[in-house]
Amino acid sequence: MNPVVRDPAEQGVGRRKIGTVAQENDVERDIAEYLGAHYSIEPDEITDESTMEDLGVDSLGVLGIAEIVENKYGISLDDERIAGVRTVSDFKNLIALKIAEVA
């Protein structure tokens, strides 16, 4: 069964599925590690509904997360789609969409 993923820049915010649970956990961990290292945010402070603004993450922080996942997963996130990221869930879904495109 194919995962259900939608581009958050083109769709409304909502829950979507990433390819595998393990992959989703890896993506969540990558985001949480970056936010912890660069913004001193504890993992339990991060939810899918957390906005980048609420977490104090500016556009450079969003680009930093994008760079890490691009390198780790061998994907390319275009700037227009990155600009549409508002929540942690948006980020996870964008990453899942790109991973599914290259799979």
Domain membership of residue 50 (yes or no) is yes
Specify the CATH number for the domain of residue 98.
Answer: 1.10.1200.10
Phi/psi of residue 78, nearest 5 degrees: -80, 150
Domain membership of residue 73 (yes or no) is yes
Q: Based on the structure, what is the number of domains in the chain?
A: 1
Domain membership of residue 93 (yes or no) is yes
The pLDDT tens digits for 44-84 are 999 999 999 999 999 999 999 999 999 998 999 998 999 99
Domain membership of residue 83 (yes or no) is yes
Domain membership of residue 2 (yes or no) is no
Domain membership of residue 16 (yes or no) is no
pTM of the model: 0.75
Helix then strand then coil, in percent of the chain rounded to 5, is 55, 0, 45
In terms of residue numbers, what domain contains 39? 30-102
